Structure 1
Amino acid sequence: MRTGVECLLDGLKKAGVEIIYGLPGGSVLDIFHKLYHAPFKFVLTRHEQGATHMADGYARATGRVGCCLVTSGPGATNTVTGLATAYMDSVPLVCIAGQVPTPMIGNDAFQEADTTGITRPVTKHNYLVRNVDDVPRIVAEAFYIAGTGRPGPVLIDLPKDVQRSTTKAATPENVVIRGYNPTTAGHPKQIAKLAEAINKAKRPLLYAGGGAILANAAPEVTQLARKANIPVTTTLLGLGAFPETDPLALRMLGMHGSVTANYATHHCDLLVSIGARFDDRVTGKISEFAPKADIAHIDIDPAAISKSVPVDIPVVGDVKQVLQALIPLVETRERTASPAKEWLEQLAEWQAKYPLTYDQNPAKLMPQYVIEQVYALTKGEAIIVTEVGQSQMWAAQYYKYTQPRTFISSGGLGTMGFGLPAAIGAQMGRPDKIVVDISGDGSAQMNFQELVVAVEHQVPIKIVILNNGCLGMVRQWQEL
């Protein structure tokens, strides 16, 4: 016989959890009693939002599922912004929240909240565990759901009486969930159709998003681009999916992207989206986005295809597996032969005419210059974590990313206060890397209490605060 807590901790161990971020409280004290003897490193954060962001940063840097543990009521509600951040960016993490005993649910008990109801819109899935026999299965399912298909956060709401109850139920070796079977292999006919379109295109463009990195498909993106000499642009979260030092790299697309990337999108005749979701900061006016192109979209989430931009060639499947099947069907193109020659020459002309520049001021330390110096000092090998705002965009523009999982930022939700705790999580997950948090003075103040965690655990993150004495991006918009 095992208690619910013992089932939980055994499930975490089998899921490969190394670090748990969180804060204790009355409804999770039984878990904390057992944690002393469990094989996990527990990191006491100073706010539950910080715990979710640390788990998020850990997950993005390592590719593993992050984990956090909080108490009921305010502890659980404090995770909402962190869960929403992870949900918008498809980050795999599992949040375990304590809950009041099941007989007291719905009676406005002390530190009670409808945690599953509150978090349902910002999680991939959530559970309220009412029977201790379900604990082993639910823990296994939570990690499986978080890390498969389109990744995302999963919350387990665990009442105190369920934690203390006993069961004979064992942790399952394999997870099978009826109705949940994400498509991983793309349809052969659709892949062949996409290959044919690439081979016929005169002005093709690859558009790589965060999904390419989540699928560990950066090598395949690079192989495809170089085989057919296709230029590559990326989203904010796609930075690192293709080395930006490569001549085929056009850098980031969209509102804060390069002129060449945006011109290329406007003039291409085939746009191949690889794990990107066509967000509004990229597309602008939908009717005028890539007006001359047939659009192909490779994505593991069928709901993402044609959600905002109509797609001509949909391919549902794991990005890595689809590209591995696609690459042998794509013809090799030489840079110096038509049609690649004319297209690449046009792009080179735009790049020369519209370089990424900024106004120099000898009397001031320009933020863009600071980012360039960080790039030089780290030789482009650091993990860059950002806050949200102008500092975020400068970090995206003036640092060249050559490897996946080296740019970590809140892209979808745009969460100020994300950077510092996420950097701590990233550094704990990748102690072999230099981790730099690029922050503005506004964002820096939003979760600055988590700096204590870095000091306490001797986490050697580097923090660069670009202080302009205001909420810079807000002011910039006001002055447009």
Structure 2
Amino acid sequence: MPRSAGHLIVDTLDSAGIERVYAVPGESYLDVLDGLYDSPIETVVCRQEGGAGFMALAESRLTGRPGIAMVTRGPGAANAMISIHTAWQDATALVLFVGLVPTADRERGSFQEFSLPEWFSSTAKRVITIDDEHHAGELTAEALRIAAAGRPGPVVVGLPEDVLVRLTEAPTPRIAEAAPTIPASAELESLTARIADASRPAFVLGGDGWQTGCRADLARFAASAGIPVLCDWRAYDAVPHGSRAWAGWLGYGRADAVARGFAEADLLVFVGCTRSDVASDGYSIGFDAETVLVSLDTEATQHAGRIDQHILASPRTFTEALTSLDADALRGGRSDGWMEERVAAQARFAAHRPDAEAQPPAERTRTGVDLGVAFGILDDRLGGEAILTYGAGNATIWGHRFIRHQRPASLVGARNGAMGLAVPGAVAASLTFPDRRAVAICGDGDFLMNGQEIATAFAHGATPLIIVIDNGVYGTIVSHQENHYPGRPSGTRMVNPDFASWVRAFNGQDGAGMSGHGERVEATDDFAPALERALAAGGPALIHVLIDPATMPPAADETT
């Protein structure tokens, strides 16, 4: 029976197991929206295209399935660009569908017209335009496959308005599951010899693909072999923080001891990630070590420096192969001393402590909440079970340092430094895993990038907890200014509303369906009871935390 190309696209997504699409509606893809009307796929109506893209990215990172976003042409596509850049640099599978002008209107300067490939080709794995209704399903399936294959990333699919309404009898394509890439026995023998010969080996885990129990399996095996496990920036849910091998993360806010361990290692085994500028402190450390790269990316994108062995495998297939080996064979003549030293240093670094303890006596009169205390309380209360989402900025560093992760798929953060992911990411996390607590950690600047997606939470029944750290400045930039232009702040001050009252303003509104909880906290002693009330709330909750503008992240020395 004939159906429109737009409906065929929806049927293809459904057959691929897609459960949600995140969309800002547009007249350029009305037929796809009509197809979603009768579909089991939930259409999450977002308030800005950047938020829609970040929600799709968050779902992808948490589930391993490509996230799906839909936006309209021109301005809509421009707003969504931030999520495409994030998915590209972060290596996260994302498919963005973009409505386009009718084919007859192309290259005539028509309303909201733009060039899809010229905008996105440098930051997407593939840019596809569906110009033939009979190929709509086939190209949709191809987009899903490409997004998830090899090094994951974004694929952009253009939907000309007139093509979508054309009828076709093309069948819904069957999407075959890709066969897993399994390391060869010769590769494992070589790896075993390298690790056994090393005095100071280390695993570095990162990227996506750690949603299963393989993370815990690899950590247990590493501990048995006396190998510390480090994680890449904002990928440290790849290791349970209760593991005997957990030795901290690399990148912004890391412990100095972690950087020293990375620099001193004589063998680095990167699994799912690379030696990037962030991990290597701006290409300055960790380049002398023998290097093994475990990645499905044949081009080793973003990897800098030597590669002595490249094993094509996913985190899951590599872990399954590795843990089938004899851990004693990898240990060689090493004791646990190297691993235990690294693990102990991270434990000291992550131990809860008030910020005030590290301040000179003259500065201990700062106003506002002591974040060292607040995040220690938050960590104790969450118990390593929550999903944490982060945007960008200094306000996130306390969360990275003090909040434990014991479960897989429990961290979503923009590894490319994009602001505005925290709130939409938490909304998507709550929708994807409604039985788990989703907590957004963001600064005041980050919150106002995409804070409007609180409305999406109310509309769709999501219940995120949002912690907004308010210092009235763009704190990360202020810290750089103090380093390079001391005493000359410029372009970094902000004026903020009462964020707590904003959440409460949704109460009683038509379509909201539930009540929001918002509190403003200006003193350290008030944080714990406010947190308990927020966690007990039945709907979205927000705690607006006031801190002194002079407050900067805690020192990277684990002893302070």
TM-score, length-scaled by structure 1: 0.92
**Correspondence 1:29-40 to 2 at 5 A:** 29-40=30-41
**Cα drift, residue 31 of structure 1:** 2.3
**Cα drift, residue 125 of structure 1:** 1.4
**Cα drift, residue 197 of structure 1:** 0.9
Worse-superposed segment, 135-144 or 350-359? 350-359
Q: Which runs of 5+ in 2 are unaligned?
A: 358-363, 484-560
Q: Which residue of 1 aligns with 2:444?
A: 441
Q: Is the 8 A contact 2:221 2:327 kept in 1?
A: no
Q: Which residue of 2 aligns with 1:245?
A: 242
Taking a change above 3 Å as real, the CA distance of residues 116 and 354 of structure 1, as seen in their structure-2 partners, is: closer
Listed one character per residue, the Cα deviations across residues 362-397 of structure 1 (whole Å, up to 9, x for unaligned) are 864222322221111111110010110112222111
Matched, 1:207 2:204: yes
Listed one character per residue, the Cα deviations across residues 150-180 of structure 1 (whole Å, up to 9, x for unaligned) are 222212101111111112211222459xxxx
In 2, the alpha carbon distance for the partners of 1:219 and 1:341 equals: 19
In 1, the alpha carbon distance for the partners of 2:386 and 2:212 equals: 21
In 2, the alpha carbon distance for the partners of 1:189 and 1:258 equals: 36
1:378 to 375, 382, 385: 382
Q: Is the 8 A contact 2:116 2:127 kept in 1?
A: no
The AA in structure 1 aligned to 2:383 is K
Taking a change above 3 Å as real, the CA distance of residues 349 and 329 of structure 1, as seen in their structure-2 partners, is: closer
Q: What secondary structure is seen at the aligned counterpart in 1 of 2:244?
A: coil
Taking a change above 3 Å as real, the CA distance of residues 17 and 141 of structure 1, as seen in their structure-2 partners, is: same
Taking a change above 3 Å as real, the CA distance of residues 348 and 428 of structure 1, as seen in their structure-2 partners, is: closer
Q: Which residue of 1 aligns with 2:80?
A: 79
Matched, 1:417 2:420: yes
Taking a change above 3 Å as real, the CA distance of residues 401 and 352 of structure 1, as seen in their structure-2 partners, is: closer
1:455 to 447, 458, 479: 458
**Cα drift, residue 50 of structure 1:** 1.0
Matched, 1:405 2:400: no
In 1, the alpha carbon distance for the partners of 2:338 and 2:380 equals: 31
**Cα drift, residue 317 of structure 1:** 2.1
Taking a change above 3 Å as real, the CA distance of residues 350 and 435 of structure 1, as seen in their structure-2 partners, is: closer
Q: Which residue of 2 aligns with 1:319?
A: 315
Worse-superposed segment, 372-381 or 435-444? 372-381
The AA in structure 1 aligned to 2:16 is A
Taking a change above 3 Å as real, the CA distance of residues 471 and 224 of structure 1, as seen in their structure-2 partners, is: same
In 2, the alpha carbon distance for the partners of 1:2 and 1:441 equals: 47
Q: Is the 8 A contact 1:80 1:122 kept in 2?
A: no
In 2, the alpha carbon distance for the partners of 1:331 and 1:220 equals: 12
Instruction: Report percent identity of matched pairs.
Output: 28
**Cα drift, residue 329 of structure 1:** 3.2
**Cα drift, residue 425 of structure 1:** 0.9
Matched, 1:257 2:260: no
Q: Is the 8 A contact 1:183 1:316 kept in 2?
A: no
In 2, the alpha carbon distance for the partners of 1:19 and 1:465 equals: 27
Q: Which residue of 1 aligns with 2:337?
A: 342
Q: Is the 8 A contact 1:211 1:299 kept in 2?
A: no
**Cα drift, residue 290 of structure 1:** 4.8
Q: Which residue of 1 aligns with 2:269?
A: 272
In 2, the alpha carbon distance for the partners of 1:261 and 1:307 equals: 19
Q: Which residue of 1 aligns with 2:59?
A: 58
Taking a change above 3 Å as real, the CA distance of residues 68 and 191 of structure 1, as seen in their structure-2 partners, is: same
In 2, the alpha carbon distance for the partners of 1:126 and 1:458 equals: 33
In 2, the alpha carbon distance for the partners of 1:252 and 1:352 equals: 12
In 2, the alpha carbon distance for the partners of 1:85 and 1:68 equals: 14
Listed one character per residue, the Cα deviations across residues 222-269 of structure 1 (whole Å, up to 9, x for unaligned) are 233123121111112321111122232111123421222212112222
In 2, the alpha carbon distance for the partners of 1:353 and 1:240 equals: 19
Q: What secondary structure is seen at the aligned counterpart in 2 of 1:222?
A: helix
In 2, the alpha carbon distance for the partners of 1:410 and 1:353 equals: 26
Listed one character per residue, the Cα deviations across residues 81-124 of structure 1 (whole Å, up to 9, x for unaligned) are 11111121122222111111112111111121112321122222
Q: Which residue of 1 aligns with 2:121?
A: 120
Matched, 1:235 2:244: no
Q: Is the 8 A contact 2:379 2:404 kept in 1?
A: yes
**Correspondence 1:300-311 to 2 at 5 A:** 300-304=296-300, 307-311=303-307
In 2, the alpha carbon distance for the partners of 1:396 and 1:240 equals: 11
**Cα drift, residue 432 of structure 1:** 1.1
Q: Which residue of 2 aligns with 1:468?
A: 471
1:387 to 386, 391, 394: 391
Return the structure number with greater relative CO, CA threshold 8 A, min gap 6: 1
Q: Which residue of 2 aligns with 1:22?
A: 23
In 2, the alpha carbon distance for the partners of 1:468 and 1:123 equals: 36
Q: Is the 8 A contact 1:299 1:305 kept in 2?
A: no
In 2, the alpha carbon distance for the partners of 1:320 and 1:18 equals: 23
1:218 to 215, 220, 227: 215
Q: What secondary structure is seen at the aligned counterpart in 2 of 1:97?
A: strand
In 2, the alpha carbon distance for the partners of 1:306 and 1:157 equals: 28
In 2, the alpha carbon distance for the partners of 1:36 and 1:249 equals: 47
Q: Which residue of 2 aligns with 1:139?
A: 140
TM-score, length-scaled by structure 2: 0.79
The AA in structure 2 aligned to 1:444 is F
Q: What secondary structure is seen at the aligned counterpart in 1 of 2:193?
A: helix
Q: How many residues align?
A: 473
Taking a change above 3 Å as real, the CA distance of residues 355 and 162 of structure 1, as seen in their structure-2 partners, is: closer
What is the alpha-carbon root mean square deviation over aligned residues? 2.5
The AA in structure 1 aligned to 2:432 is G
Q: Is the 8 A contact 1:198 1:330 kept in 2?
A: no
In 2, the alpha carbon distance for the partners of 1:213 and 1:398 equals: 21
Matched, 1:297 2:300: no
In 1, the alpha carbon distance for the partners of 2:8 and 2:347 equals: 61
